[in-house]
Structure 1
Amino acid sequence: MILYIRNMACESCMILVRQELDKLGIQHKRIELGEVEIRGLISDEKKESFAQAIEPGGLELVDSAEQVLIDKIKATIADYVFNKKNIKQNLSAYLAEELEMEYAQLATYFSGLTGTTIEQYAIALKIEKAKELLAVENKSLKEVAEQLDYKQVSHLSNQFKKVTGIRPSEFKRKGVASRKTIQELGKVG
């Protein structure tokens, strides 16, 4: 049995899910971004208990096939953005390969259900990661550009201003207060 989980987009989320499954005695085969494969079946009561246990962490069980696909697309985009240095494909090829669908289908489906494009969502994720690197890790804009695989610092700076309305240097002075969680980004659409 597979459970699909919305907003599960980082290692911390997977740790939370594993802990809550273990607390409830629910055996699992694998835990990946956005989904958990359960050994056998679980009762509706245990499923509801699990849903309630992960909710404070910003996670949510989903049943809709449409929402499952959107969440898989978002998780795959996050994987691409956060691991770009290790991925040699462009985003469209990576999504098509990972999700085993034509990119045009994915793009149409995503924009139709979220109201934003895959590219806009990926840029928003990159800018949030840039904010983290600038504010939390105190990296320079050049280091951030390199880590996020921007060819030019000016390109990152221009995208940053377009998305946030302020320059990276202004953000650095402002700090963490203007950052968004991945759950808030998920509400782009």
Structure 2
Amino acid sequence: MERTLLIKNMVCDRCKTTVLELLKTEGFKVQSVALGEVVVKDASKKDDIRLKTALQAIGFELIQEEADVLVEKMKLALIKQMDKGDADFILSKIAEDLGKHYSFLSKTFSQLEGITLEKYLINLKIEKVKEYIQLKQLNFSEIAYSLNYKSSSHLAKQFKSITGMSMTAYKKLQESDRKGLDKIV
């Protein structure tokens, strides 16, 4: 029998590889691995305790509560859109994709994460801005455009309010202070 397991903090391809290796080491028959989701065969609920402990040891978390599942699905949807370069993603589309009312999802997200869904999206965008600045491939106007900001000045104000420094000051830093996507909250 196949089971779909949801795993918190899987935000990149390296995470998928790490979790896949762990599952194989633990003797699970893995059918597929995607961001935040693993399909295993012949795994019982008794295996969950062992898996939960093993995942926690490497910085991941097995999600079992329905509200936690929804929050993780929302985060993954936003991260996937950012990875695709689709910053024009409308938050209400998440609700449509998940078959839930936006107000319910927004309230659930805020209660569990202590931050609004909108603020989470802004934080995600700011981390993407930091990445773009480090890569030195785009100027500030191009970064603003790629993240669907109305103007580079709007992005600059938002960047400063979140980070406490201007984008120019950030660009001059020798070391970045980027957060992992699993640490945004």
The one-letter amino acid of 2:30's match is H
Which amino acid is 1:17 matched to? V
**1:58-103 Cα distance to aligned partner (Å, 9 max, x none):** 3222222222222121111222233243x8652222x013212111
Residue number in structure 2 paired with 1:39: 41
Distance in 2, Cα, partners of 1:84 & 1:74: 15
Task: Measure the CA separation in 2 of the matches of 1:15 and 1:147.
Answer: 29
> What is the CA–CA distance in structure 2 between the aligned matches of 1:46 and 1:118, rounded to whole Å?
29
Mapping 1:19-98, distance limit 5 Å = 19-42=21-44, 44=46, 48=50, 51-52=53-54, 55-56=57-58, 58-85=59-86, 90-93=90-93, 95-98=94-97
Q: Which 4+ stretches in 1 moved above 3 angstroms?
A: 42-47
Call closer, same or farther: CA 1:34–1:53 in 2, change over 3 Å. Answer: closer
- Residues 144-153 or 39-48, more deviating: 39-48
Counterparts of 2:127 and 2:88 in 1: how far apart (Å)? 22
Measured at CA, do residues 73 and 89 of structure 1 come closer, stay the same or move farther in structure 2, by a change above 3 Å? closer
1:75 alignment partner AA: L
* Aligned mates of 2:99, 2:17 — CA distance in 1: 27
2:178 counterpart residue number: 179
Question: How does the TM-score come out when normalised to structure 1?
Answer: 0.83
Letter in 2 for 1:90: I
Query: Which structure has greater helix proportion?
Result: 1
Q: Distance in 1 between matches of 2:174 and 2:66?
A: 38
Residues 147/107 of structure 1: CA separation in 2 closer, same or farther (3 Å cut): same
Identity of aligned residues (%): 32
1:170 maps to a residue whose letter is A
Distance (Å, rounded) in 1 between the aligned partners of 2:115 and 2:56: 27
* 8 A contact 1:8–1:14 mirrored in 2: yes
Q: Map Cα deviations across residues 22-75 of structure 1 (whole Å, 9 max, x no partner).
A: 33332222222222111122474686257425632x322222222222212111
Q: Please say if residues 88 and 148 of structure 2, whose CA atoms lie closer than 8 Å, have aligned partners that are also in contact.
A: no
TM (normalized to structure 2)? Answer: 0.84
Residue matched to 2:120: 121
Q: Kindly report which structure 2 residues correspond to 1:137-148, keeping only aligned pairs within 5 A, or say none.
A: 137-139=135-137, 140-148=139-147
Uncovered stretches (5+) of structure 1, i.e. residues with no partner: none
Corresponding residue number in structure 2 for 1:102 = 101
What is the alpha-carbon root mean square deviation over aligned residues? 2.4
Residues 128-139 of structure 1: pairs in structure 2 closer than 5 A:
128-135=127-134, 137-139=135-137
Query: Retained in 2: the 8 A contact 1:28–1:37?
Result: yes
Count of residues in Structure 1 that have an aligned counterpart in Structure 2: 182
Work out which of the residue numbers 9, 12, 15 in structure 1 matches 2:14: 12
Go from structure 1 to structure 2 and tell me whether the alpha carbon gap of 1:46 and 1:119 turns closer, same or farther (over 3 Å shift): closer
Contact 2:71 2:109 in 1 (8 A): yes
Distance 2:154 2:121 in 1: 15
Q: 1:88, 1:184 → 2: CA distance?
A: 23
User: CA shift at 1:7, angstroms?
Assistant: 0.9
